[in-house]
Amino acid sequence: MTIPPARSAPASALALAVVTEPLRAAPAAPGAREENLRALLQTASDGGVRAVVSRPDGDQERLLGHAWPFPSPFEVTVLTVASTEGLDRVEARARRSLERMGLPRAGVLLVSSAADLAGSEGRALWDRVQGLKDRGLFKKVGFVAEVDDGPSLLARRLTPDVVRLSCNLLDQTACRSGELEALGALGVELQVSSVFAKGALFGGSATPEAWHGRELDLSRARRRLAEARVDPMQAALAYGLSLPGDPKLVVSVASAAEMRAVLAAVHAPAPAIDWAELDLGRSAPGAGAPGARRVSSAA
């Protein structure tokens, strides 16, 4: 039975992905949206969260730019647009992300897909990203990957500062494959996304698309947590805190109330659960086979 080690400041392991669209909250007027976001960010800051991740689509970056606490304690991770939009566009959009968020520089720039680095323009793309770091616009650079991309092999070739992989209590492939440990051994900083398995841990009326056909397995996993009297959010975060390499756990939050719930869960005592018993990725068809696709890769 694996019990994660204690961390003196577990909230510092969180990286906040702010949900600005009305996905989990009722639509609000523009002014109210910004005020709600200010409250969310202030709650995160007061709770010890020191990292925020952004994305280039939608209105999130602009809203963040109007809502930062002052002075802002956050290190921000920026994602590139797809390389299919052209290398000039990738570079220009990364610069534009900083402008939209009102930042002279940011902590991390991640190539949004490792597959972009494997293509014919992969080296040129990486040179553009490195160039932005060399100019002081980003402190660190890296990429987002799946286990199938062979991220540790790619890291040996490119020497990134940061790599983001998806991993969660229900699909522990990234940990079980040894990729997290391999990246850590290379000195790469880790970000882990899909911590809540796209909501699959929490049930609800609709099963996330990546888990279609696994409804019975999901029900059994949730029942096991309920029988152990363990809150799913608490279990998901405790598992994330147990992962090798002390990764940042990317968690999506839509309101100050959700942020308070996440902070409470991340500070809760680690449950005495055998994580392997909840690894549905291990029992998926083709799991562990070379080239097998992930059960869930979405954040």
Q: How many CA atoms lie within 13 A of 260 on its CB side?
A: 5
| pLDDT at site 212 | 80
| pLDDT at site 22 | 61
| pLDDT at site 299 | 42
**Cα–Cα–Cα angle for 291, 274, 10, rounded to 5 degrees:** 90
- The answer as to whether 166 is a domain residue is yes
| pLDDT at site 296 | 35
**What percent of the chain stands above pLDDT 70?**
87
> Which of 91-100, 105-114, 222-231, 235-244 shows the lowest per-residue confidence on average (mean pLDDT)?
222-231
* pLDDT tier at 31, thresholds 50, 70, 90: confident
* pLDDT tier at 32, thresholds 50, 70, 90: confident
Residues 266-289: pLDDT tens digits?
999 988 888 999 999 776 544 443
Task: Please give the helix or strand (H or E) that residue 252 lies within, else none.
Answer: strand 248-253
The stretch 42-56 carries a mean pLDDT of 97
Rounded-to-integer distance, Cα 150 and Cα 295, Å? 16
Instruction: For residue 208, give both structure tokens.
Output: 């996330």
| pLDDT at site 198 | 85
Q: Taking a C-beta distance cutoff of 8 angstroms, is the pair 195, 170 a contact?
A: no
The stretch 215-229 carries a mean pLDDT of 89
Provide the number of structural domains found in the chain: 1
| pLDDT at site 30 | 62
Question: CA dist 36 to 45, 59, 207, Å?
Answer: 14, 15, 28
Strand partners, 249: 14, 192
- The answer as to whether 34 is a domain residue is yes
The stretch 25-46 carries a mean pLDDT of 84
The stretch 182-191 carries a mean pLDDT of 97
For residue 118, pLDDT over 80 is answered with yes
The stretch 197-219 carries a mean pLDDT of 80
| pLDDT at site 205 | 62
| pLDDT at site 58 | 87
- The answer as to whether 93 is a domain residue is yes
Crossing angle of the two packed helices 232-242 and 256-267, in degrees rounded to 10: 60
- The answer as to whether 288 is a domain residue is no
- The answer as to whether 239 is a domain residue is yes
Average pLDDT over all residues of the chain: 88
Rounded-to-integer distance, Cα 286 and Cα 296, Å? 14
The stretch 243-261 carries a mean pLDDT of 96
| Amino acid, res. 160 | P
* pLDDT tier at 72, thresholds 50, 70, 90: very high
- The answer as to whether 298 is a domain residue is no
- The answer as to whether 16 is a domain residue is yes
**Domain extent for 275:** 10-283
The stretch 68-93 carries a mean pLDDT of 96
Q: Taking a C-beta distance cutoff of 8 angstroms, is the pair 179, 265 a contact?
A: no
* CATH number of 105's domain: 3.20.20.100
- The answer as to whether 271 is a domain residue is yes
For residue 162, pLDDT over 50 is answered with yes
